[in-house]
Structure 1
Amino acid sequence: MLIAPVYPNSVTIPMIQTGCMKTGFDPTYPIYLNGIISQDEFEQSTGGFALCIAGGALLHGIVALIVVEFMLLGISLFSLLIGCQAVQSHRINRMRQAVAEESKKYSMRSPTPCSWRLNVNRWWSRGRGGQHISYR
């Protein structure tokens, strides 16, 4: 799309590639600027443009880095939560299996049939700030 300049004597400053994925303003002084601005003023202006672009790029990079950091933190905390829950569930299942085996062993000896069971209660302690499991 072509955009018509507001003023007939508009100055166009070309962009050049200065590196991989990096662009900047062409530092050469155009001939058609003679009489409009001096070479020093041109260099100051393009330097100001470059600083503005570099500052914006730095800000975008920092924001992107922070977003990625929070995403990784969230994923790692979620994975830690799932892992802790899996370990706790596996531990409780092993304990229930051990109690069932012991119950079966002693139930055969006893004249009165009985069964053992593992009662797992979970409660929160606000004083210590952690979850505790009691086995009865």
Structure 2
Amino acid sequence: MRWVSTAIALLAAATISPALAQTASFDGTWSVTQECEPAPGGARGFKWAYDATVKGGQLVGQYGTKDKPSSLTLTGQIKADGSAMLRASGLNGKSDYTAGFGQPGEKFSYPVEARFEAKRGTGLRTQARTCRFTFVKL
């Protein structure tokens, strides 16, 4: 019976799609640096650093405390070719750093177009202000 379990395990491993195997190559912990330029109208620029975890190609990063002012959650699926359309969402912090001078605690959300390689990645936000994202696999 032992050979049956081994055969089943080998068959399961052989049926994993190449795309799934490639997205898993991005799995691990990534350091994220987010640099946002001053926004049109005068909001100040800022730089944040936080970690993100990738599992099964799914990225989840967190800056600050979720659901508290000055927080951001970054999520999205990294495709086998390394491309990703991520979503940043959270709650505004101090209004002088917020595009449109939104009030602290107001919700925000925007897309981030990203590209990943084996150990590095980049991303860009272009809505309301320009923010550049740098990803480094730890």
> By the TM > 0.5 criterion, same fold?
no
TM-score bracket, shorter-length normalisation: under 0.3
**Given the two structures, how large is their TM-score scaled by the length of structure 2?**
0.22
**Given the two structures, how large is their TM-score scaled by the length of structure 1?**
0.23
More helix by share: 1
- RCO higher in 1 or 2 (8 Å CA, sep ≥ 6)? 2
Compare CA radii of gyration and give the structure with the larger one.
Answer: 1
More strand by share: 2
